[in-house]
Structure 1
């Protein structure tokens, strides 16, 4: 019984290693084809993948900032640290909550959209048609999506930082009774520029992860609508896992 289990484990490890290698090769090829960057296609993807995601990102982060302040404000007041509430919310937003939650929301919306679109093209043989017309699928499909995600996710995070901190401000002033000046002054005292720039660097990495995983899953979709559904689900799950894993190592590098 032990030998079959080890064989199954070995096959799983080999499959995962092969998948990792293929993803790295796709990323390398995409970087190579950046020289064939198409501005029009990229702007179209930026509008579709970035601008259209703004409402759901803002709504998610707004209530995250409000909930965080509800959970912490009274505890801070109890120990006489109400002058730290705004700074704590702003630092948490800039370093972790805004980039990570924006990445997760984007993985669910943007990653799924990328995989479904490219996967549908794969099963209907449109990607083969691109090759017949001497159009490189990586340059035409992957490069615009990678560039759009890498540049649009930090912009979404900037908006998320502002709206999350504003949500905390509303709860702190209207619910917890903390003065407006106290809240805003603590942001100025506790927040450093690195807290914001570190989050933006994270967002760029998360954007690259979402785009590459989404494109890879789309390009390797099995035949049929069922294959597109499996690829879309796998893309979202893999992107979210990689975002959390990568976030840990980026935090070690950026904030130690």
Structure 2
């Protein structure tokens, strides 16, 4: 199957995904379960990575400011911009593509190879809507919260790095963070996160739903889904940057 056929099959899948859920209570319970699996269980790794990435950005910026004529508050400014524009929305989404994407593909793929999806179809249930739509809603609802958390912890990590290393003062760092706040950049980060969340939910679902074979095929599909999700996130990141920031 070539790439054009995969794209066509992907959009056909989306048409079935976004049909009206059959039972409201079952759908609500499925969404809550997916928020726990795809969102709450990712809090730890997002908090850890965001905090230390913010510290690394601040330290590297401080190390590259060698001229005494460059004010130290630019460290806080550069750290804030870097985290809001790229590291919080894009880097964290790539991490989630690996963690969450592999889980989605393996869970749906296991249902496919054990014929559980076929059983849902026999009972007259729209299996794509039943399995994929709650994942889409959960990621679109919860990942913006993860973005806010990643931004806050990234900036806090930069502050902590300066406090521990003594390479720049806390006053300069806070002044740089508060300097020239642009709300549109936060809006831009949210737009990226929502689109990345949609890709993280749907691309691995596609690979898992249409997997053929046994457990080995599910493992290969999980790897392929992570790779393609990351590729699409990078491409979408470039397109959104061109459209919204240039």
The TM-score with structure 2 as length reference comes to 0.93
Match status 1:140 vs 2:130: yes
Match of 1:59 in 2: 48
Contact 1:84 1:186 survives alignment (8 Å): yes
Contact 2:21 2:130 survives alignment (8 Å): no
Match of 2:85 in 1: 95
Distance in 2 (alpha carbons) for counterparts of 1:75 and 1:35: 58
RMSD: 1.7
SS at match of 1:153: helix
Distance in 1 (alpha carbons) for counterparts of 2:185 and 2:148: 12
Match of 1:111 in 2: 101
Distance in 2 (alpha carbons) for counterparts of 1:211 and 1:255: 26
1:139-178 map, 5 Å: 139-178=129-168
Aligned with residue 207 of structure 1, among 191, 194, 197: 197
Distance in 2 (alpha carbons) for counterparts of 1:189 and 1:195: 14
| Cα deviation, residue 75, structure 1 | 2.3
Question: For each residue in 1:53-86, what CA deviation from the matched residue of structure 2 results, as whole angstroms up to 9, or x when unmatched?
Answer: 0111111122211111121113235342311111
Match status 1:18 vs 2:8: no
Aligned with residue 226 of structure 1, among 216, 224, 230: 216
The TM-score with structure 1 as length reference comes to 0.90
Q: Aligned pairs, how many?
A: 243
Distance in 1 (alpha carbons) for counterparts of 2:21 and 2:71: 50
Give every structure 1 segment of 4 or more consecutive aligned residues whose post-TM-superposition deviation is greater than 3 Å.
Answer: 32-37
Seen in structure 2, the aligned counterparts of structure 1 residues 255 and 176 have a Cα distance that, compared at 3 Å, is farther
Question: For each residue in 1:173-228, what CA deviation from the matched residue of structure 2 results, as whole angstroms up to 9, or x when unmatched?
Answer: 33243222221121111331122221111111001001111110011111101110
Distance in 1 (alpha carbons) for counterparts of 2:16 and 2:124: 17
Contact 1:73 1:176 survives alignment (8 Å): no
Match status 1:182 vs 2:172: yes
Seen in structure 2, the aligned counterparts of structure 1 residues 131 and 109 have a Cα distance that, compared at 3 Å, is same
